[in-house]
Amino acid sequence: MAYDSGKTREKLLDAASAEFTEHGLSGARVDRIAVAAGVNKQAIYAYFGSKEALFDAVLDLSLAHLTATIPITSYDLPGYAVALFDYLCAHPEYERLTMWKRLERADASPEEVEHYRRKLAQIAPAAGHAPIDVLLLILGMAHAWGNSAPALRALDGDAVSVSDQQARYRAALQKAARAAVEALR
């Protein structure tokens, strides 16, 4: 059987994504990543150079997946906020991985900076004079549910289930995003 370097790289990224999501950069172990991927741990260094570079590759891949799945448009920022919220609810590992990034690596990679630069350029026509403020508000509101304290959500006596709470927050998010965009235009 022929060696498939692309498949090895993919297996490493999948295993690393699970490891980094669970343990963060500092707590992740290359031995566990290699075992989960079914490869020699030297493959990590051959493909990525370091554990830190592998972490960056996982983050870049996660961000690329999110961007491809949820494109942002200037004409429907409230719709983008809701679509992002839905994505985050369906993919809690993305929220956790980015939280680890913020906790352990305050620096932004050139890929991350370019990602947000493109988003700002896309929303600028509809955002008026403050596209960065609009984007910060939209992203902050979409991420608020996943970043909120479970104890706060437990105080919601009107909702019977988490899905009820999410549905109500989703509706409130759409209204708030629309109001934020209008207020900042």
The ranges assigned to domains in the chain are 1-54, 70-184
Q: What percent of the chain has pLDDT over 70?
A: 96
Quick one: pLDDT band at residue 23, thresholds 50, 70, 90? very high
Tell me the average pLDDT of the chain: 90
Quick one: pLDDT band at residue 130, thresholds 50, 70, 90? confident
Examine the pLDDT at 65 and tell me if it is beyond 70. yes
**Helix ranges, 38-161 (H):** 42-48, 51-69, 77-90, 92-104, 110-127, 131-147, 150-154
Please, are residues 17 and 28 in contact by the beta-carbon 8 Å criterion?
no
Q: Which range, 54-58, 116-120, 126-130, is most confident?
A: 54-58
Q: pTM of the prediction?
A: 0.87
Please, are residues 18 and 62 in contact by the beta-carbon 8 Å criterion?
no
- CA separation for the pair 15, 92 (Å, rounded): 17
Contact residues for 83 (Cβ-Cβ < 8 A; gap 6+): 70
Q: What is the pLDDT of residue 2?
A: 54
> In 10 A of CB 42, how many CB atoms?
10
Give me the mean pLDDT over the 12-17 stretch: 97
Quick one: pLDDT band at residue 180, thresholds 50, 70, 90? confident
Q: At residue 163, what are phi and psi to the nearest 5 degrees?
A: -65, -35
Pick the CATH number of 70-184 from 3.20.20.450, 1.10.357.10, 3.20.140.10, 3.30.750.24: 1.10.357.10
| CATH 1.10.10.60, domain 1-54, yes or no | yes
